[in-house]
A and B are shown apart, each in its own frame.
Chain A
Amino acid sequence: MEVNEFIKKLFDRAAKAGFEASEADYAGSEEFSVSVKNGEIVDYSVSAGMGLGFRALSKGKMGYASTQVLDEDALDLLISGAAENAALIENDDEEFIFVGSKSYPEMDVYNGEIDRITAAEKIDMARRLEKACVSLDPRVTQCEAVEIMSGSSARRLVNSRGLDVSFRENYIGLYAGVLAQENGEVTSGSAIRLARDPKKLDIEAEAAKAVKEAVDGLNADKAISGEYKVILRNDVAGSILRTFASVFSAEAAQKGFSLLKGREGEIIGSPALSIVDDPLNPASPGATPFDGEGVATRRLDIVSAGRLNTLLHNLKTAKKQGVETTGSASKPSYTSPVGVAAHSMHVVPSGLSPEQLVEMAADGVLITDVQGLHSGANQISGDFSLGARGFLIEGGKVTRPVSQITVAGNFFELLKNVTAVADNLDFAFSSVASPDLLIGKLAVAGK
């Protein structure tokens, strides 16, 4: 049945079933992607999907259920599922269905131009991208994968207490993975970018970036094991911050999973380090006018010159700690329970260029890729030990490539060891980002 009718019936039945309040989270998305190899299409995918998440309060406990089918059966499943799940909850936290904020930020991140790009044009773009990758350097003989993707998504949060907010966005993006070969050695390089404006998707520039990364990595050696000054390139610094972003969650802290518990107001990082969550920045894929509970979002200074101002809160964690919500309720999918997460977290850039950071380091290692963040990083201890590659920095210059090395440390120590921050903040494809960071010391293992 049609979604408005479904939601109306759902709320009616929920009220009859004795729920105090109920909420629907309706999400729809369309996606397109095409991959080419040697000019031929190898993958072509078109999708349209929707889903509806339901949550409702029963005797003060929140029950959740979700569906991808909107029929009579689904109504029953949602009501009975939410009732059963609510009955299982054992903690005494106060739960909220929110009435709505007074006003919401204006946000225009839907670009009609993207919708007008035809499939044929996107196939051409993919072919152009592949051609650009293989024609820039004789050592790049093939691409591992070349893909153009686009998509749009819409979200509506509506509840029985009067909240009814919605938001939609779209993007177009590319991925290029290239392989360079010399003397039997293979290296890879990649570029990935999502754009809200098709004119900002510079195919040739992204190809050049991927090719440069692969070619520059050829003839790499292992670094000699030891402690080094390390520059984390912006994408690497961003992915490390993304991996550890949950330590700033008050929910993690209240449950004892974050070492930042109770540290608000204390110095936790170097004076060079400031971190914000800025969901109002339209350049970020994480831009959003409201959070997972329907609370209006705002820019939040999390860390200012090393001082932890606040952790991230939703309505529940804020109530528990006697503070206001920071609008940081997360609900990554309509199927997810409400949690806490940053929308668009980044390290605040300084006025220094990446080259100036290299000069400041004088001798050290520039890390351009890390692997194993899902397994080699522990948010609870802060420890990380990651496969990596990059370049040696010698005499204030980037010199030889190094690969099959590891870089290891602790996130909380790393925050204190940020010596300098560059100016090259770039969201590229992620809602968590950072400029290049110069770290005073990190352990590198190689030979």
Chain B
Amino acid sequence: MISKSAAERVLAEAVRSGGDFAELFMEDTRSSSLNLVDGAIDSATTGRTHGAGIRIYHGLEGIYVHTNDTSEAGLMKAARQAASAIGDANAARDIRLTGSIVRNIHAIERLPMDVSGAEKSRLVHAAYQAAKDYDSAIRQVRVSLMGKETDVLIANTEGLFTGDRRVYTRFSVVAMASNGQENQTGSQAPGAMMGYELFRDRVDVEARARRAAETAVTMLKADKCPGGYMPVIIDNGFGGVIFHEACGHSLEATQVALGNSEFCGKLGQQIASPIVTAVDDGTIANEWGSLNIDDEGTPTNRLVLIENGILKNYMIDRLNGRRMKMAVTGSARRQDYTFAPTSRMRNTFIAAGSDDEAEIIATAGDALYARQMGGGSVNPATGEFNFAVMEGYLIKGGKIDRPVRGATLVGKGSEILMKIDRVGKDMKMAQGMCGSRSGSVPVNVGQPMIRVTGITVGGR
């Protein structure tokens, strides 16, 4: 992308006006997507994203400039523009970069761009047919494939000069069931930091399509969920979105460093029920939220956030690490070069516990069982979160009674964490896109089945 000596000149230009740290991030991304609706492929796109961002620190100030012009002249111009935001001092600094090779732990076999249109077409058609055939109430199915290959180069004034390649493949299916008056949907969207071996090794698109159809058909026949305050059982997999929203965002230095989190100053304190251990792990091979190095060039790690209810770590990027006087955790991420990085989650999950799943339901009394979660959001400052239940069931006297639809869970993260009274044994992860200050990034959420003694359930 750019030579080491050119990167040295650009970084030297960036710190000329008195900045005490500068970073260059370059990106070249090729992406493609394919959509099938109504049994026919109706759109296909290919794109190339290319650009660079230059970041300068001046004490606790962060300056960011980005551009599409990645010629050396273009980068020098961006560096000068960033430097001018600090002042007009002119102090030459000699920058020496040392190349470092990143050890790739995410083996890729078949790049998405190399897979033929015919093969992609076969996959989406197979998924479409599987969903359609599931039930005559399935009236519409939308299937998509997304592939992305990103090369990044990261250099900074501490001498770092490194790069990484990230390959993503994702499949999504939305099935719609209808009875003429009402529509209900179900969806599945598995993905990984992998090529098309994803569909050989991990994801059966037809089984996923049938699962989406099952949700849609079940919800079409479901009653509206009654609202109120009740115990809630959340299943494994995408159920982990509760931890992501209720707690994860509030443990990002993005929030903590500026005093915007309800968990500020709580390291070493109990913030969750003693049966809760939660981890953010960027190192799991080929997982959707994994990275060899983060977007500041720091190798990722496995970070225990909460151990037996005690808050152990925050997720910390470089600038907020300065603000907090704490070390980075390989958690700095950005959607692309148009965003300055900040601390974000990677693969975040509640670790497996020791409770039996059948017992969790049998001893719940009257409760809501959220089998499939939708997405959610949180206000980290107040901890108030909300999320949607895509497929829910009422539990009466410890038995699953009937499906219900339209439920939303609302509450405060700090309160919910303390109210977890069961953690199951079977931890599963699922994929999502997480949106925050530095854009939309791929993350895994995960957990075993958990039970919360009480949550406000929104329904009708």
Q: Note all chain B residues with C-beta closer than 8 A to A100.
A: none
Closest CB in chain A relative to B445 CB, distance in Å: 13
B45 adjacent to A335 (CB under 8 Å): yes
B140/A374 in contact, CB under 8 A: no
For A227, give the chain B residue with the smallest CB separation. Answer: B460
A443 to chain B, nearest CB (A): 4
Partner of B45, one of A46, A66, A382: A66
Stretch of B57-65, B165-173, B305-313 that contacts chain A:
B57-65
Which residues of chain B are near A443, meaning CB under 8 Å? 227, 458-460
**Is A416 in the interface zone, CB < 8 Å from B?**
no
- Distance in angstroms from A45 CB to nearest chain B CB is 4
- Chain B residues closer than 8 Å to A92, beta-carbon distance: 40
Q: A68-B68, A376-B386 are contacts. A447–B258 as well, Cβ < 8 Å?
A: no
The residue that A403 contacts in the complex, of B48, B140, B384, B459, with Cβ under 8 A, is: B384
Which residues of chain A from 183 to 231 have a CB within 8 Å of any chain B CB? 186-188, 222, 225
Cα(A53)–Cα(B343), bound, Å: 32
Is B46's CB within 8 Å of the partner chain A?
yes
Q: Does A85 contact B (CB under 8 A)?
A: yes
Binds A, one of B205-213, B272-280, B404-412: B404-412
Quick check: is A77 within 8 A (CB to CB) of the other chain? yes
B381: CB under 8 A from chain A? yes
Interface string of A90-129 (1 = CB under 8 A from B): 1111000000000000000000000000010000000000
Given the contacts A90-B40, A407-B458, A68 and B48 also touching, CB distance less than 8 Å: yes
Q: Are B185 and A380 in contact (CB under 8 A)?
A: yes
CB of A375 within 8 A of CB of B375, answer: yes
Closest chain-B Cβ to A92's Cβ sits at a distance in Å of: 8
Cβ of A137 under 8 Å from chain B: no
- A383 CB–B CB distance under 8 Å: yes
Q: Is B335 an interface residue (CB 8 A)?
A: no
A49 touches B375 (CB 8 A): no
Which residues of chain B from 204 to 222 have a CB within 8 Å of any chain A CB?
none
Q: Is residue B88 within 8 Å, beta carbon to beta carbon, of the partner chain?
A: no
Interface assignment of A60: CB less than 8 Å from any CB of chain B: no
Answer yes or no: B453 CB below 8 A from chain A CBs. Answer: no
Q: Using Cβ atoms and an 8 Å threshold, which residues of chain B touch A67?
A: 47-48, 50
B66 interface residue, CB < 8 Å from A? yes
- Assembly CA distance A81 to B120 (angstroms): 15
**In the complex, chain A residues whose CB is within 8 Å of the CB of B225:** 385
B342 nearest CB neighbor, chain A only: A43
Residue in chain B with minimal CB distance to A92: B40
Contacting residues of chain B (106-142) with chain A, CB-CB under 8 angstroms: 117, 120-121, 139-140, 142
Give A86 to B176 CA distance when docked, in angstroms: 27
CB pair A46–B379 under 8 Å, yes or no, is: no
The CA of A255 and the CA of B377, in the complex, are separated in Å by 29
Q: How many residues of B contact A (CB 8 A)?
A: 74
Q: Which of A34-42, A233-241, A358-366, A423-431 makes up part of the contact surface?
A: A34-42
Residue among B45, B121, B228, B459 with max Cβ neighbours from chain A (10 Å): B45
Given A222-B456, A257-B176, A387-B385, CB of A404 within 8 Å of CB of B408: no
For the complex, give the distance between the alpha carbons of A87 and B377 in Å.
40
- B184, B227, B228, B405: most-surrounded residue (chain A CB, <10 A): B227
Of chain B, the residue at the smallest CB distance from A404 is: B410
Whether B65 pairs with A46 at a CB distance below 8 angstroms is yes
**CA of A372 to CA of B41 in the docked complex: distance in angstroms?**
31
Give complex CA distance A381, B260 in Å.
Answer: 36
Separation of A68 and B338 alpha carbons in the complex (Å): 12
* A66 and B46 form a contact (CB under 8 A): yes
Q: Do A385 and B459 touch (CB < 8 A)?
A: yes
Expressed in whole angstroms, the minimum distance between the Cβ of B229 and any Cβ of chain A is: 6
Give Cα A445–Cα B43 distance, bound, in whole angstroms: 41
Convert A404-421 into 0s and 1s, putting 1 for each residue whose CB lies closer than 8 angstroms to a CB of B: 111111000000000000
Chain A residues within an 8 Å CB radius of B142: 257
Is B424 located at the chain interface by the 8 A CB criterion?
Answer: no
Select from chain B the residue with minimum beta-carbon distance to A338.
B43
What is the CB-to-nearest-CB distance from B345 to chain A, in angstroms, rounded to a whole number?
Answer: 17
Q: Which B172-223 residues have C-beta < 8 A from chain A?
A: 176, 178, 182-185
With contacts A46-B85, A404-B456, A445-B228 taken as known, whether A85 is within 8 angstroms of B46 at the C-beta atoms is yes
- The verdict on A69 contacting B68 (CB below 8 Å), with A49-B338, A89-B42 known, is yes
User: Which of B51, B66, B408 has a CB less than 8 Å from the CB of A385?
Assistant: B408
The answer, among A47, A145, A387, A408, for a CB contact under 8 Å with B67, is: A47
Residues of chain A contacted by B228 (CB below 8 angstroms):
225, 445
Fill in one digit per residue for A371-391: 1 if any B CB lies within 8 Å of its CB, else 0. 110111010111101110100
Query: Closest Cβ of chain A: how far from B439's Cβ, in Å?
Result: 12
Is B317 part of the contact surface with A, judged by Cβ < 8 Å? no
Cα–Cα, bound, A66→B408 (Å): 39
Asked if A396 CB lies within 8 Å of chain B CBs, one says no
What are the residues of chain B within 8 A of A372 when measuring CB–CB?
375-377, 386-388, 408
Q: Which of B45, B120, B374, B382 contacts A186 (CB 8 A)?
A: B382
Check if A88 sits within 8 Å of B44, measured CB to CB.
Answer: yes
B49: CB under 8 A from chain A? Answer: yes
Contacts of B376 in A (CB 8 A): 372, 375-376
Asked if A91 and B48 make an inter-chain contact with CB atoms under 8 angstroms apart, the answer reads no
Check if B259 is an interface residue, CB within 8 A of chain A: yes
Determine which residue in A37, A85, A403, A406 has the highest number of CB atoms from chain B within 10 A of its CB, and name it: A406
Give the distance in Å from the alpha carbon of A407 to the alpha carbon of B225 in the complex: 13
A68 close to B50 (CB less than 8 A)? yes
- Contact assessment for A47 and B65 in the assembled complex, using a CB-CB cutoff below 8 Å: yes
- Report the separation of the CA atoms of residues A213 and B155 in the bound assembly, to the nearest whole angstrom: 44
Q: Flag if B258 contacts A188 (CB, 8 Å).
A: no
Whether a CB of chain A sits under 8 angstroms from the CB of B12 is: no
- Between A and B, 28 residue pairs with Cβ closer than 8 Å are A44-B61, A44-B64, A45-B340, A47-B66, A69-B48, A82-B46, A84-B44, A85-B44, A85-B46, A88-B41, A89-B40, A90-B121, A91-B40, A187-B382, A225-B228, A257-B140, A336-B45, A337-B45, A383-B405, A383-B406, A385-B388, A385-B406, A385-B460, A386-B408, A404-B384, A408-B460, A445-B228, A446-B456
List 4 additional A-B contacts (Cβ < 8 Å) besides A45-B340, A371-B386: A46-B81, A64-B46, A385-B459, A445-B228
Nearest 5 CB-CB pairs, A to B? A406-B458, A387-B386, A445-B227, A375-B375, A81-B46
